[in-house]
Amino acid sequence: MNRIKIFVLVAALSLGIVGCAPTITPIPIESDFWAGTTANIGVVMLPAPPVAASFPGADCLLCMMTAQAANGGLARHVATLNDDELKDFPQQIVAALRKKQIQAIAVEDVTPLKEMEKIQPTDENGADRDFGIYRDQGFTHVVLVDIGALGVARNYAAYVPTGDPFGVMSGSVALIDVANNKFEMRMVINSTYTTGGNWNDPPSYPSVTNSFYAAIEQGKEMVLSALNVELASE
């Protein structure tokens, strides 16, 4: 019985770290959405999860132990990487929106989704949370960036790695009309970047480090592309 409990616990933890991309129906932004709009946008980025190594496919208890043991150095190195490159991202989104003459502000006091009132979506484009808190702050819309997984993944087939590690940043980006809690846009972000061979270079793992930061940069571009805006030149 104890073994089953341990297995369930470890499996749940592992899935949490892998952070499967959410299964949401994509809603692309209307191509002329920003044209002539008087929207006042609040850019909200939810706190990103800790940077971690994950081993999708190593699902059984013994497989997980094997993957962890075989990639101990890699996992320890990944844990030393940071998400500093994301700290200015809300401001970068604001700058990209302002480049399109859109009024926008990065929201610093972010309310976690679970603390927002749960509501019944009115249709398939409806959100299941009430974004009224942002309506009260004077925003007409909210850009919500939710990063679900950040780090480095290595695919496994039970006990055996099936490829090299790769950087991962996954999650979603949404544009919500806070007057009616409807999605104007909602897209999954799944940025992965390969290490390109010769990755096993402890202790600094340069290829792994590169793939991690490349996945972040590529993920940021995916978010901007989903919003149909471009990074403002510095």
Partner 1 sequence: MSRVVSVVSVLCVLASCASKPSQFEPKLSSDSSLSLNHNLEVMVEEGFPVFLGLPEEPGSQGQIGYVGYPGDSAEVFLAAVIVHGLLETGRQLSVESLKQEAANSILVPYENQIKSIYEAIGEKYLAQPGVVTSDTTKPTTVVSHRMAKFRLRLRPMIFMTHDERQLLLVSEAEITDGTNVRYRNIIEILSAPISQESQDMNPVNTWLEDDGKLFQSTVLSIFEQGVRLALMDAQGSFSAEAEHETFSFLQGGRVHFERAVLVGETKEHVIIRTLRKRIKAIPAT
Residue 115 token pair: 């603390």
CA distance 135 to 131: 7
CB of 8 to partner 1, least distance (A): 19
Q: How far is the CB of 57 from partner 1 (least distance, A)?
A: 4
Considering the complex, what minimum distance in angstroms separates the CB of residue 26 from partner 1? Answer: 18
CB of 54 to partner 1, least distance (A): 8
- Residue number with CB closer to partner 1 (50 or 196): 196
The alpha-helical segments, DSSP class H, found in the chain are 2-18, 61-70, 72-80, 89-99, 132-135, 206-226
How many Cα atoms sit within 13 Å of 137 on the Cβ side?
A: 21
Tell me which H or E stretch contains 42. strand 40-45
Note whether 129 and 113 are within 8 A (CB): yes
Q: Contact at 8 Å (CB) between 106 and 91?
A: yes
What beta strand segments (E) does 56-203 contain? Answer: 103-106, 141-153, 156-157, 160-161, 166-177, 182-194
Of the two residues 172 and 181, which places its CB atom closer to partner 1 in the complex?
Answer: 172
Q: Which is nearer to partner 1, 40 or 225 (CB)?
A: 225
Residue 164 identity: D
Q: Which is nearer to partner 1, 82 or 180 (CB)?
A: 82
**CB-nearer residue toward partner 1: 120 or 233:** 233
Shortest reach from residue 75's CB to partner 1, in Å: 13
* Token representation of residue 175: 């544009």
φ, ψ of residue 5 to 5 degrees: the values are -60, -45
Residue nearer to partner 1 on the CB measure, 121 or 163: 163
Per CB under 8 A, residues contacting partner 1 are 18, 20, 56-57, 59, 62, 65-67, 69-71, 85, 153, 155, 157-164, 166-168, 191-194, 196-202, 204, 206-207, 209-211, 213-218, 221
> Least Å distance between CB 194 and partner 1?
5
